[in-house]
């Protein structure tokens, strides 16, 4: 007989918790969700007040039978899935499968997987929070309705297999809108004048920036304006007219939330959002450490709160004072955003005494980098401010005004451990100057510049925007970005998120026909409704009902209007070699391709082959740009046809004019070998097929 059966979501988490529970306890994993809506149909009974038609997930029958057997043998079953809405819903589904009354005391949660936290959770079980499960159900049902009702429109008008989504389509819209801004952007000319001077005592040189004239700010937009200023300053004498000295404090950032962790890991570690969450999950669930065994290293990584517990605050104080001294510690509280759920603490180390360097040998390279980032950010959040001595000097010449700013770091404070954003502005080392003192002009020059368009989104900046606009929640950022990348609506090139042609077509169709649903305001409003449901202030079926009635009318109207509309494809200048029609650009799984508009009578289609303007360094042929399955570019000669045949040129790097090529580096050798193996297999298949004939 089992005293306690504890069901968690993952085997790693189960292994960590096992060591904390003595006696005849058993810890098993549900492997995530065990019930969900069916994939083959809508799975929502619209007529029966939007009742979801859940089914057991295919392939989990043996797991479910095993869980039922364990539950039957246990005196008490605890559902210990993750401490968020999704985890609450999984617990609710487990209760249904195992015949447990959700109103019984069966639910336990751990914000961190430590011995104290696990025992505290087990000793303080509660009922399943039906408000949280209803909020999760509302999101699931609404997203299913939107996806399953709108996606078929894309299938009919663009291609099968595409999908629309309440959050993912808004994310694509943001990226497409930014691309439109960039394409329509008209650069404006502006000029800066830089004056370099030196003081007569120490001969120290420093730079001053042009501000204006007679105390009024002046912007320079043409060379003529600049030449006039430079002419007026031809024989000018420069005097110090003001010196301001002061002190500037720089305060630490709060501990990480999901969003800020994803942003910082992207900026500092070059981690994709999906990778950040995957590595964080392993740190939360537990790492095997010498002397400690399997140990959870961080608190729960899906949170929008910056709150920390009193115990963590006290542990941080002891560590900071003991390591750096009393003056480095400051007890800080950070205000959590009003719209945050605040169900969990901020992301922080579960054991302050386990510094990154102490456990480095037990972590993978990625785990160490992320743990160090989390650890240092948390510790820095409880440290004293950095202090700078600042000086601002105003210098005039022939009534024209210049300014120089300088600062020196006086006390490092929290910056001993962590800096959120490096100083973007460079500060001069300015010598001791007095008002009325004359300085010597060393040189003066002007620089022409042009305004730049807004930058493309990166994963980090997209997450920041989604959070600021109230779109999605901590658990949705990573899957949203993964989905739109997988669907090929956007592609990631050197960190930048760029809409594909397919993404632009889909976005245009959705915005023109479902603009009231695929927009920032509606998506943010629904997040607020989900929050109200989670708080018990709204009924989920009422929220879905109020959405569905107008939505159904929109879908019916769009389907009717688009029934006789044919999507106009862009015509190319390439004739179809089979029927002579001019081929058009269509959209497939891997982007654009050429197809005959005479389909289905003529089914001719072919890929669009990009080339580079440098001849093959081996044979002089045309070098083509191709993509791997993961959309990474590589370069191959058109004459590369297989082992022992034609040219052997293939490389990750774009060829340069005049350079010789030998596949000597490891990356190119592997690419070369894989390509030849693939071509060899194709050749073998062709030979076998010919023999059979």
What tokens does 85 get?
Answer: 């809405």
Which residues are CB-neighbours of 416 under 8 A, at least 6 positions away?
324, 328, 383
Please tell me whether residue 397 adopts helix, strand or coil conformation: strand
Rounded Cα distance, 442 and 197, in Å: 5
Strands (E), 64-111: 74-79
Q: Are strands 2-8 and 25-29 parallel, antiparallel or unpaired?
A: parallel
Please tell me whether residue 365 adopts helix, strand or coil conformation: helix
Sign for the pseudo-dihedral over CA of 421, 425, 426, 430 = negative
| Backbone angle region of 658, left / alpha / beta, with phi > 0 → left and psi within -120 to 50 → alpha | left
Residues 481 and 472 sit within 8 Å (Cβ to Cβ):
no
Strands (E), 24-95: 25-29, 35-36, 44-45, 51-52, 55-56, 74-79
What tokens does 520 get?
Answer: 């920032």
Residues 244 and 404 sit within 8 Å (Cβ to Cβ):
no
Backbone angles phi, psi at 136, to 5 degrees: -65, -40
Backbone angles phi, psi at 157, to 5 degrees: -100, -20
Which residues are CB-neighbours of 199 under 8 A, at least 6 positions away?
431, 432, 433, 437, 439, 440
Which residues are CB-neighbours of 34 under 8 A, at least 6 positions away?
56, 57, 60, 63, 64, 67, 90, 93, 94, 97
Query: What secondary structure, in 3-state letters, does 611-635 show?
Result: ECCCCCCCCCCCEEEEECCCCCEEE
Rounded Cα distance, 118 and 19, in Å: 10
Any idea what DSSP says for residue 326? G
Q: Is 368 considered catalytic here? A: no
Helix (H) or strand (E) holding 607: strand 605-607
The shares of helix, strand and coil residues in the chain, as percent rounded to the nearest 5, are 40, 25, 40
Sign for the pseudo-dihedral over CA of 505, 506, 509, 512 = negative
Candidate list 238, 300, 329, 457, residue with the active-site label? 300
Rounded Cα distance, 300 and 21, in Å: 20
Instruction: Characterize 543-568 residue by residue with b for buried, 16 or more Cβ atoms within 10 angstroms of its Cβ, and e for exposed.
Output: bbeebbeebeebbeebeeebeeeeee
Q: Give the residue among 572, 536, 623, 473 at the shortest CA–CA distance from 129.
A: 536
Backbone angles phi, psi at 86, to 5 degrees: -65, -45
Sign for the pseudo-dihedral over CA of 672, 673, 674, 678 = positive
Helix residue spans in 217-272 (DSSP H): 223-232, 258-269
Rounded Cα distance, 206 and 433, in Å: 12
Q: Give the residue among 41, 160, 167 at the shortest CA–CA distance from 517.
A: 167
Residues 628 and 670 sit within 8 Å (Cβ to Cβ):
no
Task: Show which residues are catalytic.
Answer: 300
């Amino acid at each position: 007989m089992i005293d306690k059966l504890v069901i968690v979501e993952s085997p790693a988490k189960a292994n960590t918790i096992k060591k904390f529970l003595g006696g005849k306890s058993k810890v098993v994993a549900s492997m995530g969700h065990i019930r969900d809506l069916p994939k083959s149909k809508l799975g929502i009974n619209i007529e029966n007040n939007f009742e979801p038609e859940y089914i057991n997930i295919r392939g989990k029958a043996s797991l479910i039978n095993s869980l039922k057997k364990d539950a039957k043998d246990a005196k008490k079953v605890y559902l210990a899935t993750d401490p968020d809405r999704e985890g609450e819903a999984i617990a609710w589904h487990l209760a249904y499968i195992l015949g447990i009354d959700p109103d019984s005391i069966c639910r336990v949660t751990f914000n961190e997987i430590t011995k104290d936290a696990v025992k505290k959770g087990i000793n303080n079980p509660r009922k399943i929070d039906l408000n949280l499960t209803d909020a999760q159900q509302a999101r699931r049902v609404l997203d299913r309705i939107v996806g399953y009702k709108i996606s078929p429109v894309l299938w009919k008008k663009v291609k099968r297999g595409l999908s629309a989504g309440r959050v993912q389509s808004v994310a694509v819209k943001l990226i497409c809108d930014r691309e439109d801004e960039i394409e329509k952007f008209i650069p404006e000319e502006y000029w800066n004048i830089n004056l370099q001077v030196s003081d007569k005592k120490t001969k120290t040189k420093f730079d001053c920036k042009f501000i204006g004239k007679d105390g009024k700010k002046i912007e320079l937009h043409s060379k003529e304006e600049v030449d006039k200023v430079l002419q007026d300053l031809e024989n000018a004498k420069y005097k110090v007219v003001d010196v301001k000295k002061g002190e500037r404090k720089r305060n630490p950032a709060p501990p990480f939330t999901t969003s800020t962790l994803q942003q910082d890991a992207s900026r500092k570690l070059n981690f994709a959002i999906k990778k950040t969450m995957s590595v964080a999950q392993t740190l939360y669930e537990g790492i095997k450490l010498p002397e400690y065994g399997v140990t959870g290293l961080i608190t729960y990584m899906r949170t929008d709160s910056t709150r920390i517990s009193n115990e963590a605050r006290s542990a941080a104080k002891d560590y900071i004072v003991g390591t750096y001294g009393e003056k480095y510690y400051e007890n800080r509280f950070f205000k959590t955003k009003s719209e945050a759920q605040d169900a969990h603490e901020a992301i922080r180390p579960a054991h302050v005494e386990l510094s990154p360097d102490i456990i480095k040998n037990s972590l993978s390279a990625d785990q160490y980098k992320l743990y160090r980032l989390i650890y240092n950010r948390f510790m820095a959040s409880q440290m004293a401010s950095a202090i700078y001595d600042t000086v601002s000097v105003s210098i005039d010449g022939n009534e024209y005004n210049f300014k120089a700013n300088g600062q020196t770091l006086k006390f490092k404070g929290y910056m001993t451990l962590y800096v959120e954003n490096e100083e973007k502005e460079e500060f001069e080392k300015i010598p001791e100057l007095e008002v009325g003192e004359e300085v010597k002009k060393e040189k003066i020059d002007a620089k022409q510049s042009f305004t730049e368009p807004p930058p493309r989104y990166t994963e980090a900046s997209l997450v920041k925007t989604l959070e600021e606009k109230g779109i999605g929640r901590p658990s949705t950022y990573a899957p949203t970005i993964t989905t739109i990348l997988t669907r090929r609506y956007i592609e990631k090139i050197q960190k930048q998120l760029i809409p594909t042609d397919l993404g632009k077509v889909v976005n245009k169709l959705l915005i023109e026909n479902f603009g009231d649903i695929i927009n920032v305001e509606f998506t943010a409003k629904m997040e607020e409704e989900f929050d109200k449901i989670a708080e018990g202030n709204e009924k989920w079926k009422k929220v879905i009902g109020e959405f569905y009635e107008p939505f159904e009318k929109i879908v019916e109207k769009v389907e009717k209007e688009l029934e006789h509309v044919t999507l106009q494809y862009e015509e190319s200048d390439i004739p179809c070699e089979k029927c002579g029609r001019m081929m058009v650009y269509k959209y497939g799984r891997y982007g654009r391709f050429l197809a005959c508009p005479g389909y289905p009578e003529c089914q001719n289609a072919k890929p669009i082959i990009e080339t580079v303007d440098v001849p093959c360094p081996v044979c002089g042929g045309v070098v083509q740009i191709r993509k791997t399955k993961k959309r990474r570019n590589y370069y191959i000669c058109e004459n590369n046809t297989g082992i022992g045949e034609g040219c052997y040129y293939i490389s990750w790097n774009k060829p340069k004019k005049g350079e010789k090529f030998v596949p000597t580096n490891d990356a190119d050798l592997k690419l070369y070998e894989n390509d030849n193996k693939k071509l060899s297999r194709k050749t073998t298949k062709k030979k076998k097929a010919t023999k059979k004939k």
